[in-house]
Amino acid sequence: MMNASGRTRQGMAITSLVLGVIGLPTAGCLGLGAIIAVILGIVALVKANKSPDEYGGKGMAIGGIVTGSMSLLLAPVVGGIIAAIAIPSLLRARVSANESGAIGDTRTVISAQLTYASANGGYYDSLECLANPSGCIPGYPPQGPYMLGPELVAREKTGYRRTLHLGVPPVGQDPSAKASPTSVVSFAYVAVPIVPNRTGVRAFCGDESGRIFFTSDGSEPRVEDGRCAETSNVIQ
């Protein structure tokens, strides 16, 4: 039976065909569109076969089933291509962010050491002392400002393993001087990728010179007497 306008019902068949065609270049609209196209196409085809006077669009229903099925078959291929393009970009973005974080933290530690030294007789100290100077520097106010946040005392952070290499203690330090008993004359802060080429590409080393050096292959920079020994590459 036709509808009041004298035309057969073709809505499901048309929708099936449209979704199937759209699904071809869009990986099946993430699979969902292709599945709907196939289901609507099958339902429309069954109705057209049972009630041809009321339901039409048999050819469009078949076309929707065919294109929807093709979309489902192509979805893994298209998805693989998208992943092949997107994943490396995401990894590069993460590596870049991790490296920027390591460089920023190295600068923060250098600045904190220099600030700490101004209150510690010109000497440097451990990360724990920088985070709690009143527990290390004699006479330092209990409520005095700390030089380093506790989050930078962590050994691993944002894809990098960090290590503070301390130099030798000062020679002839006056015991009565207001300086920490664990004071040293130099330091080197090293950040190395936890998983080379995945969490970071370069490794970094910063010392009391204020400069940050790096190794291009992510190998751990050499440290001698609490100072960065590999100085060929410098962060500008």
Which tens digits make up the pLDDT trace of 122-178?
A: 999 999 999 999 999 999 998 889 999 888 887 888 899 999 999 999 987 665 568
5 is a domain residue: no
Residues 76 and 126 in one domain: no
Residues 184 and 104 in one domain: yes
Other residues' Cβ atoms within 10 Å of the Cβ of residue 55: 24
Residue 27's contacts (CB-CB under 8 Å, 6 or more residues apart) are 71, 74, 75, 78, 79, 82
**Quick one: the chain helix, strand, coil %, rounded to 5?**
45, 15, 40
pLDDT for res 1: 46
Please give the mean pLDDT across all residues of the chain: 82
Residues 68 and 103 in one domain: no
32 is a domain residue: yes
Least confident of 80-84, 93-97, 218-222: 80-84
Which tens digits make up the pLDDT trace of 108-120?
A: 999 999 999 999 9
Residues 81 and 153 in one domain: no
Residues 48 and 107 in one domain: no
- Residue 51's pLDDT band, with cuts at 50, 70 and 90, is confident
Distance CA 201, CA 195 (A): 9
Structural domains in the chain (count): 2
Least confident of 21-25, 59-63, 106-110, 216-220: 21-25
Which pair of tokens denotes residue 135?
Answer: 């527990």
Residue 73 sits in which domain range? 11-86
| pLDDT over 80 (residue 6) | no
91 is a domain residue: no
The predicted model scores a pTM of 0.66
pLDDT for res 35: 72
Residues 33 and 129 in one domain: no
- Residue 39's pLDDT band, with cuts at 50, 70 and 90, is confident
Out of 61, 86, 111, a domain closes at 86
14: helix, strand or coil: helix
55 is a domain residue: yes
